[in-house]
Amino acid sequence: MNASSLPPLPDAEVQCQALADLIRPGLTPDAALVGIFSGGAWIAERLVELLGLADAAGLVDISFYRDDFAEKGLHPQVRPTRIPFDVNGRRLILVDDVLYTGRTTRAALNELFDYGRPAAIELAVLADRGCRELPVAPNYCVWNLELPRSIGLILSRNEAGQLFWEMEHHA
């Protein structure tokens, strides 16, 4: 797949609104959002605003929970996990930017259970690019696409806080 045959990149800000619209009908008073650093954290913070939630989003860094930690080592930008609410008995919506192999989601689930026993956990993502290695599927998703493994899909944020997509080619 060459650069000219790549799909056009959608507006990530419009996608955040569409994701909020998907989540809103089933939202319950006990629901709370937890974003995975970094893209998922940005989206979760945006969703809290769009959905008018009282609780700030929880934020998790899964660096120590990755199953490839021994191979890759510690990511240079580890951030502290911050969950400003009790997860016990709560309905959580785990938020990430891209669902790919499922390994990041698995790591986030492991970390969440270290904080307690939620009533339920759902998964919300902006993009699902397939290529699953684990049995993980999103409850909420606004963009399904297929990309070769040689192309990375990255959510970025500009200085004004606006979210946008980029693609990068890996060797």
CATH (domain of 65): 3.40.50.2020
- The reply to whether 4 falls in a domain is no
- The reply to whether 75 falls in a domain is no
Retrieve residue 153's tokens: 């899909």
Q: What pTM was estimated for this model as a whole?
A: 0.91
How long a stretch of residues is the chain? 171
Domain of 157 in residue numbering reads as 10-70+80-169
- The reply to whether 102 falls in a domain is yes
pLDDT of 76 = 53
Please list the pLDDT of the chain residue by residue as tens digits (171 residues): 555 567 689 999 999 999 999 999 999 999 999 999 999 999 999 999 999 999 999 999 998 775 554 454 555 567 789 999 999 999 999 999 999 999 999 999 999 999 999 999 999 999 999 999 999 999 999 999 999 999 999 999 999 999 999 999 887
- The reply to whether 32 falls in a domain is yes
- The reply to whether 50 falls in a domain is yes
Q: Supply the Cα-derived Rg of the chain in whole angstroms.
A: 16
**Could you give the 3-state DSSP secondary structure of residue 116?**
coil
Tell me, rounded to whole angstroms, the distance of Cα 100 from its chain centroid: 11
- The reply to whether 34 falls in a domain is yes
Domains contained in the chain, number: 1
